[in-house]
Structure 1
Amino acid sequence: MTHGKLEAGSKLVLASHNAGKLAEFSTLLADFGVTVLSAGDLNLPEPEETATTFAGNAALKALAAAKATGLPALADDSGLCVSALGGAPGIYSARWAGPNKDFPAAMARIEEGIGSDERDAWFICVLCLAWPDGTTRSFEGRVDGSITWPPRGEKGHGYDPIFTPTGESRTFAEMEEAEKNAISHRAHAFKAFKQACLD
């Protein structure tokens, strides 16, 4: 395997314990003949996310999985950034929901914090591909939009019910999964990753 490209028949560790992410990436990578193993299935510990950027945290997770398994590893770090909150919750998006993943409380916290007409927001996703020797490549995706209140929609996860992408009247949580996946921050990051590492 050459650095930079994942060839058909290769194995890749997804450095995530999130079943939803595993399903999404397994589907995306199946067309390329890449087998995806998850950190959860391999009982890898989740590293402490101590970096101050999405790229830093994605690299931390990918490198930990690559070094533990001797296989290339892919990690993502993503979150919601709100202009009126100075870019928060940002890298702390999951932490705002607390250990019980209380996203309704986290969404209410955002709405309380805005308290103005400034409702601009964006989702960021950074994908990092790491090799066991410590080489990494990162790819960033972003989707701009605005905060909607009250929350709308039953689909999606996390902050999707309060995020309406630019040019749309529906929140991410009101869209079918395939629709959201076509325009999401993760889709943009994956497209860049695909062009660099798969095609």
Structure 2
Amino acid sequence: MQLVFATNNLNKLKEVQAIVPSHIKLLSLKDIGCIEDIPETQPTIKGNAIQKAEYLKKHYNYDCFADDTGLEVEALNGEPGVYSARYAGPQRNAEDNTNKLLNQLKDKSNRNAQFKTVIALYLNGELHTFTGICKGEITQEKHGEGGFGYDPVFKAEGYKKTFAEITLKEKNKIGHRGKAVAQLIEFLNK
């Protein structure tokens, strides 16, 4: 089976490739010659995932899947949410986003948060969605060198280390994207 993963984010691609079984060949946007930025203009994480998958299906006609992920912080009424990648501005800088988040939370005792990933799959002309959630909290400061995005400040429930301090294998087992991809794989294996 061959599927296009609608992402230009090499970190996401690496995470997903580590989970997907070898009988499913993942193609990147680069592999199919897609160099344009796929629109993400929907007001929800699910909406963005669907929009990206629909765009790819319409313009390239591949069976494909797309994901969108957001960090939802309780004390910030769900922010940054759908705007997680551009929380500190259109430059999409992870360091700036993380610094803004820590600054927004500096006087807050409630640090509860969750990462949410929605995957939209177009297969044989049908749309399917899968959602993975990882509950946890935002730390007071950054810890660790691994991962990407908000990983240095997110600690999953029951864990003492941030996503940036654990291995990719551990993160895929407990994390939001890993949970959504596991549902996708289970569906594809049926």
TM-score (norm: length of structure 1)? 0.87
Shift, 1:47, TM fit: 2.2
- Out of 150, 166, 169, the residue aligned to residue 175 of structure 1 is 166
Amino acid at match of 1:71: Y
State how many pairs are aligned: 188
Structure 1 residues 132, 191: closer, same or farther in 2, change over 3 A?
closer
CA, structure 1 residues 27+178, in 2 after alignment: closer, same or farther (shift >3 Å)? closer
Q: Is 1:122 the equivalent of 2:122?
A: no
Q: Which has the higher mean CA deviation after the structures are superposed, 33-42 or 74-83?
A: 33-42
Report the alpha carbon displacement of residue 116 of structure 1 after superposing the two structures with TM: 1.4
1:144-177: CA deviation from partner (whole Å, max 9, x where unpaired) = 0011011111011000000011101111111111
Partner-residue secondary structure (3-state), 2:33:
coil
Are the equivalent residues in 1 in contact too, given 2:136–2:157 (CA < 8 A)? yes
Question: Given the alignment, which residue of 31, 39, 49 partners 1:41?
Answer: 31
Deviant stretches of 4+, over 6 Å: none
RMSD over aligned CA atoms reads 1.7
Contact 2:15/2:168 (<8 A) preserved? no
For each residue in 1:53-89, what CA deviation from the matched residue of structure 2 results, as whole angstroms up to 9, or x when unmatched?
1111001111111222222111010021111111000
AA matched with 1:67: K
Which digits, 9 at most, give the CA deviation of each residue in 1:18-38, with x for residues without a partner? Answer: 22222333343343x122111
Could you say which residue in structure 2 is the equivalent of 1:155? 146
SS class of match (2:83):
helix
| 1:158-199 Cα distance to aligned partner (Å, 9 max, x none) | 000000111011111111111111110011111211222224
Identity, in percent, stands at 36
CA 97–149 in structure 1, closer or farther in 2 if over 3 Å, else same: same
Counterpart of 1:69? 60
Q: Any unmatched runs of 5+ in structure 1?
A: 1-9
After TM superposition, give the deviation of residue 100 of structure 1 in Å.
Answer: 4.1
The answer to which of 47-56 and 138-147 deviates more is 47-56
Please give the TM-score of this superposition, normalised by the length of structure 2. Answer: 0.91
Relative to structure 1, the CA distance from residue 26 to residue 103 in structure 2 (aligned partners, 3 Å threshold; closer, same or farther) is closer
Gaps of 5+ in 2: none
- Rounded to whole Å, the distance in 2 between the matches of 1:195 and 1:41 is 25
Equivalent position SS for 2:38: coil
CA contact (8 A) 1:152 1:162 kept: yes
